[in-house]
């Protein structure tokens, strides 16, 4: 009897999913996708998550969690599961689930939708939940330590190196998105720049005027943000201030590198903490508003279900559906970075093992829902506008007429007037080749929000609100990520030079910060100066690295299941591991050795180096020095892919070895930490 509501839900989901998947040639409503996703997620949570909890992990609600046996009122606090859900979701959801699906829309809405729904249920949510479980049973330790405990010190160090490199790529790609969104946009630039002094005022307020009053100071900051958006329109229109806040991508790149270097060594209360309040609350608010807006507006999907780019050759990113769709949408379907959160603060706050499915599996389902909304956002736009915004300038040319001709030739007719008018509606000079996903999503959000509040006159405000919301939390991530990267680097160098580890001393900290900023700054600069727009090159590298980290987390989970003698159920983690390995190893190898210069880094490098040997300069390079830069960048990217391949393949060997060893023993060998092993605090 108790299954009947779930059966009804499953039927509704199946109907919605088949409508989404089978209707061709006519527009369907976005709510079909949303309903299909919601029903699938609820049913998956009710049955698959509970199956994993009860049968695979054998969670024991009576067993004390670290929050209980280590309780200190600070790091280890037994927390209400709903409160903890909010904390966990706010920590995992960022720009990733918003950008990836927007980029993936170049193949139509269907491939992305199906991958997000299937990926999260079978891989992403399983990964988050498993890592949370593994960490929760081991004192809330971090992913690197867990790998070391279960797979040995060498595997642990390899995992740490991989994690640091992923961090660098993430920071570079996030910063690139900000550059793409703010370049040549004085309105956007002013509002984002205004958040720096605004956050500092908030910091001073929480430090000296009313210490600890986060609610008050956030309201103050929010009012300041809205004023900055409204005032930004006047700044952009002013003949003096407009040009002052207009920057080229290269200028913005250097500004961001400088910002990252300075912001990450300032005291945390001055800039990072207050900016984090704003970005966190704005993020949650905007996500909720987007969900409400989509339900009220119920827009039709104007993007076709499938485009001709399924087979490859798309302008937004290169490569065919397999394997590149599965690395383009990383966050939202499965994201390795979550393994760091699930083995971070969350396992130290969980009050009962019984809460783990809700937090671990449920939290990731929620993020997948955000990804679905982003995909819907990109798909409700006129496909002509979508491709005009997301194709590189090299394809579109510089004028609305050339862009309109190029996009129409792709099969998505759009007039130059519409491109000009859309830019005008959102208060920008141009929307042509505004790659990176954020501007596209902002146009979509402006469409949805202005439908609910304010009408067309409010579009420009909502567009800049959406840009601000994305830029704000990306800048917070750049700042926080640089700090985190610095500590990772200090720990890694500390393996060779122990004195480098001292977190409090000045010189190692400064050196590590400089190295970290230089590392992501290098890739950012490379992306900004890339003639294909950078996102084209960097996003796949980011996707590959993030999915490889997911594969590592799932391999660790598989090892733990074997060592617990639960190998009967190891398929739960082994199947998604194999799928991620197939996708990332194929994608990584293609990026390395594909003969197609649009896909393979080395093929691209050899075309340019052969031309350079002949003394020719190939477009887009304008000089021999630029030719050499392109060749060098290609080789660095290729080396990076090779290192990622090495990391994941070596960890695969460790995994197989550990699983075989575990099978030879008759008793469980997992290194769980039980309460009696820890002295009471």
From 129, 337, 520, 608, residue interacting with another protein (rule: CB under 8 A):
337
**Residue among 400 and 527 whose Cβ is closer to another protein:** 527
Binding mask 486-505 for another protein (x = CB under 8 A): xx------------------
Cα 488 to Cα 263: distance, rounded to the nearest angstrom: 18
What crossing angle do the helices spanning 506-529 and 249-263 adopt, rounded to 10°? Answer: 160
Burial class (CB in 10 A: 0-12, 13-18, 19+), 5: exposed
Cα 184 to Cα 190: distance, rounded to the nearest angstrom: 11
Residues 28-87 that bind another protein (CB under 8 A): 71-75, 77, 79-80, 82-87
Least CB distance to another protein at residue 335 (A): 7
**Residue among 176 and 446 whose Cβ is closer to another protein:** 176
- Other CB atoms closer than 10 Å to residue 332's CB: what's the count? 30
User: Which residues on neighbouring strands pair with residue 311, listed in sequence order?
Assistant: none
Least CB distance to another protein at residue 438 (A): 13
**Residue among 214 and 578 whose Cβ is closer to another protein:** 214
- With CB under 8 A as the rule, give the number of residues binding another protein: 58
Least CB distance to another protein at residue 341 (A): 5
Token pair of 590 as six digits: 């293609």
Nearest one of 25, 546, 41 to 33, comparing CA atoms? 41
**Residue 399 per-residue DSSP state:** S
Least CB distance to another protein at residue 115 (A): 18
Contacting range for another protein; rule: CB under 8 A; set: 187-195, 219-227, 475-483, 653-661: 475-483
Q: Are 42 and 312 in contact (CB under 8 A)?
A: no
Least CB distance to another protein at residue 509 (A): 11
Our finding on whether 93 is near another protein (CB under 8 A) is yes
Q: Are 468 and 229 in contact (CB under 8 A)?
A: yes
Contacting range for another protein; rule: CB under 8 A; set: 22-30, 92-100, 408-416, 659-667: 92-100
User: Which residues on neighbouring strands pair with residue 29, listed in sequence order?
Assistant: 300
Contacting range for another protein; rule: CB under 8 A; set: 157-165, 244-252, 273-281, 526-534: 273-281
User: Which residues on neighbouring strands pair with residue 300, listed in sequence order?
Assistant: 29
Q: Are 33 and 376 in contact (CB under 8 A)?
A: yes
User: Which residues on neighbouring strands pair with residue 350, listed in sequence order?
Assistant: 79
Name 424's Cβ contacts closer than 8 Å, sequence gap at least 6: none
Q: Are 438 and 475 in contact (CB under 8 A)?
A: no
Cis peptide bond upstream of 323, omega within 30: yes
- Other CB atoms closer than 10 Å to residue 193's CB: what's the count? 19
Category of 157 on φ-ψ map: left (φ > 0), alpha (ψ -120 to 50) or beta: alpha
From 222, 254, 281, 522, residue interacting with another protein (rule: CB under 8 A):
281
Least CB distance to another protein at residue 251 (A): 25
Least CB distance to another protein at residue 556 (A): 18
Our finding on whether 95 is near another protein (CB under 8 A) is yes
From 247, 277, 525, 562, residue interacting with another protein (rule: CB under 8 A):
277
Backbone angles phi, psi at 29, to 5 degrees: -80, 145
**Residue among 10 and 99 whose Cβ is closer to another protein:** 99
Contacting range for another protein; rule: CB under 8 A; set: 46-54, 280-288, 352-360, 393-401: 280-288
Helix (H, G, I), strand (E, B) or coil at 1: coil
- Other CB atoms closer than 10 Å to residue 285's CB: what's the count? 12
How far is C-alpha 609 from the chain's CA centre?
34
Residues 163-182 that bind another protein (CB under 8 A): 170, 174
Least CB distance to another protein at residue 677 (A): 19
Our finding on whether 91 is near another protein (CB under 8 A) is yes
From 27, 280, 399, 408, residue interacting with another protein (rule: CB under 8 A):
280
**Residue among 214 and 291 whose Cβ is closer to another protein:** 214
Q: Are 411 and 349 in contact (CB under 8 A)?
A: no
Binding mask 180-219 for another protein (x = CB under 8 A): --------------------------x----xx-xx----
Instruction: For 552-590, give the DSSP string.
Output: HHHHHHHHHHHHTT-GGGTHHHHHHHHHHHHHHHHHHHH
Name 234's Cβ contacts closer than 8 Å, sequence gap at least 6: none
Binding mask 512-551 for another protein (x = CB under 8 A): ----------------------------------x-----
- Other CB atoms closer than 10 Å to residue 452's CB: what's the count? 16
Our finding on whether 484 is near another protein (CB under 8 A) is yes
Our finding on whether 480 is near another protein (CB under 8 A) is yes
Nearest one of 389, 346, 348, 352 to 364, comparing CA atoms? 346
Contacting range for another protein; rule: CB under 8 A; set: 55-63, 334-342, 555-563, 576-584: 334-342
From 269, 569, 571, 646, residue interacting with another protein (rule: CB under 8 A):
269
Contacting range for another protein; rule: CB under 8 A; set: 91-99, 153-161, 454-462, 644-652: 91-99
Contacting range for another protein; rule: CB under 8 A; set: 133-141, 462-470, 474-482, 659-667: 474-482
Token pair of 6 as six digits: 């779930």
Least CB distance to another protein at residue 368 (A): 13
Cα 500 to Cα 609: distance, rounded to the nearest angstrom: 40
530 sits in which H/E element: none
Cα 360 to Cα 134: distance, rounded to the nearest angstrom: 11
Least CB distance to another protein at residue 87 (A): 4
Least CB distance to another protein at residue 349 (A): 8
Token pair of 92 as six digits: 């995992």
**Residue among 126 and 410 whose Cβ is closer to another protein:** 126
Contacting range for another protein; rule: CB under 8 A; set: 32-40, 57-65, 341-349, 424-432: 341-349
- Residues at the interface with another protein (CB under 8 A): 71-75, 77, 79-80, 82-87, 90-96, 170, 174, 206, 211-212, 214-215, 268-269, 272-273, 276-277, 280-281, 284, 331, 335, 337-338, 340-341, 344-345, 349, 476-477, 480-487, 546, 681
């Amino acid at each position: 009897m108790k299954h009947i509501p779930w059966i009804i839900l499953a039927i509704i989901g199946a109907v919605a999913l088949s409508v989404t998947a089978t209707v061709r040639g006519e527009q369907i409503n976005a709510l079909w996708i949303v309903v299909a996703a919601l029903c699938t997620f609820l049913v998956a949570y009710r049955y698959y998550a509970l199956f994993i909890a009860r049968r695979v992990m054998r969670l024991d609600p009576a067993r004390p969690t670290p929050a209980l046996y280590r309780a200190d009122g600070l790091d280890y606090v037994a927390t209400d599961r709903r409160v903890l859900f909010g904390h966990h979701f706010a920590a995992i959801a960022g720009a990733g689930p918003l950008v990836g699906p927007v980029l993936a829309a170049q193949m139509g809405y269907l491939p992305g939708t199906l991958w997000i729904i299937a990926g999260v249920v079978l891989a992403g949510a399983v990964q988050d939940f498993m890592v949370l479980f593994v960490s929760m049973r081991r004192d809330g330790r971090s992913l690197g330590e867990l790998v070391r405990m279960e797979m040995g010190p060498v595997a642990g160090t390899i995992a740490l190196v991989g994690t640091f490199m992923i961090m660098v790529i993430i920071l570079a790609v996030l910063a690139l998105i900000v550059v793409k969104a703010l370049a040549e946009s004085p309105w956007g630039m002013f509002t984002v720049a205004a958040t720096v002094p605004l956050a500092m005022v908030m910091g001073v307020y929480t430090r000296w005027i009313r210490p600890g009053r986060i609610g008050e100071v956030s309201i103050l900051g929010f009012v300041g943000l809205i004023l900055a958006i409204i005032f930004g329109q006047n700044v952009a229109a002013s003949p003096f201030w407009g040009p002052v806040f207009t920057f080229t991508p290269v200028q913005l790149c250097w500004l961001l590198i400088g910002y990252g270097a300075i912001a990450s060594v300032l005291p945390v209360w001055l800039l990072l903490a207050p900016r984090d309040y704003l970005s966190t609350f704005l993020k949650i608010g905007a996500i909720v508003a987007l969900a409400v807006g989509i339900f009220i507006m119920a827009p039709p999907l104007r993007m076709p279900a499938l485009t001709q780019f399924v087979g490859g050759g798309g302008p937004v990113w290169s490569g065919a559906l397999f394997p590149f769709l599965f690395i383009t949408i990383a966050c939202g379907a499965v994201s390795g970075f979550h393994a760091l959160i699930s083995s971070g603060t969350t396992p130290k706050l969980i009050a009962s093992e019984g809460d783990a499915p809700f937090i671990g599996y449920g939290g990731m389902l929620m993020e997948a829902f955000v990804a679905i909304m982003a995909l819907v956002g990109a798909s409700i736009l006129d496909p002509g506008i979508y491709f005009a915004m997301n194709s590189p300038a090299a394809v579109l040319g510089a004028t609305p007429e050339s862009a309109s001709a190029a996009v129409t030739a792709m099969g998505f007719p759009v007039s130059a007037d519409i491109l000009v008018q859309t830019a005008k509606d959102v208060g920008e000079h141009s929307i042509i080749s505004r790659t990176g996903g954020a501007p596209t999503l902002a146009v979509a959000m402006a469409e949805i929000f202005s439908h609910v509040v304010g009408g067309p006159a409010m579009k420009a405000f909502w567009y800049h609100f959406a840009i601000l919301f994305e830029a704000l939390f990306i800048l917070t991530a750049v700042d926080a990520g640089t700090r985190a990267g610095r500590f990772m680097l200090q720990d890694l160098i500390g393996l060779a030079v122990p004195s480098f580890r001292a977190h409090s001393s000045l010189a190692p900290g400064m050196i590590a910060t400089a190295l970290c900023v230089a590392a992501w700054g290098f890739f950012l600069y490379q992306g900004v100066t890339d003639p294909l727009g950078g996102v084209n090159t960097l996003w796949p590298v980011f996707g590959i690295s993030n999915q490889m980290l997911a594969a590592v987390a799932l391999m660790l989970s598989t090892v733990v299941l074997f060592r617990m003698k639960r190998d009967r159920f190891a398929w739960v983690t082994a199947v998604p591991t194999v799928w991620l390995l197939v996708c990332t190893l194929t994608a990584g190898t293609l990026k390395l050795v594909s003969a197609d210069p649009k896909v393979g880094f080395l093929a691209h490098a050899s075309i340019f180096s052969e031309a350079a040997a002949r003394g020719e300069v190939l477009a887009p390079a304008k000089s021999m020095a630029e030719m050499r830069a392109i060749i060098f960048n290609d080789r660095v990217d290729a080396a990076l892919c090779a290192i990622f391949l090495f990391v994941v393949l070596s960890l695969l060997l460790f995994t197989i070895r550990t699983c075989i060893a575990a099978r030879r023993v008759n008793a469980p060998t997992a290194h769980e930490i039980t309460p009696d092993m820890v002295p009471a605090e």
